[in-house]
Amino acid sequence: MRAEEFLSRLDGVKSLHSGQWMARCPSHDDSTASLGIREEADGRLLIKCFAECSTQSVLESLGLTFSDLFTERYLGHHKPINRRWTPRAICELMGASASNVALLWERMQNRKLTDEEFAIFRSELQNIILLGNEALNG
């Protein structure tokens, strides 16, 4: 499957830069873009939910299987390429999560957060931690 076809099945898709996107994860109630998508040079699609959904659960939510992450060109013809998220992409994602945390922190100073707002606050803090781990460990 090509990246364009995969991305068309998702909501809230944001392009980070060439070959990398973020979108709302279809496997959980995602109010912020926590699903990372990367297209490798050989056409493979790599996906990672930073809220810890498994790749299988994301694919099942979309009615897809693991083989859908590969193009015909890749299957049986290429060695895998190991390319990690770029530091810039990780920093952009951390910045977006930090902005949301700051906004909700300000609201907390004046009133109690709603359950939905608190869930977003907690999710964004978790995203920052997960992205930090991704930056440190790959």
Q: Which pair of structure tokens corresponds to residue 118?
A: 């608190």
Q: How confident is the model at residue 81 (pLDDT cuts 50, 70, 90)?
A: very low
CA distance 78 to 74: 6
pTM: 0.55
> Among 14-23, 45-54, 91-100, which stretch is predicted with the lowest mean pLDDT?
91-100
CA distance 93 to 51: 13
Q: How confident is the model at residue 53 (pLDDT cuts 50, 70, 90)?
A: confident
Instruction: Give CA angle at 100 (94, 102), nearest 5°.
Output: 100
What would the pLDDT profile of 31-40 be if each residue is shown by its tens digit? 889 999 998 8
pLDDT at 74: 45
Instruction: Give CA angle at 104 (52, 138), nearest 5°.
Output: 30
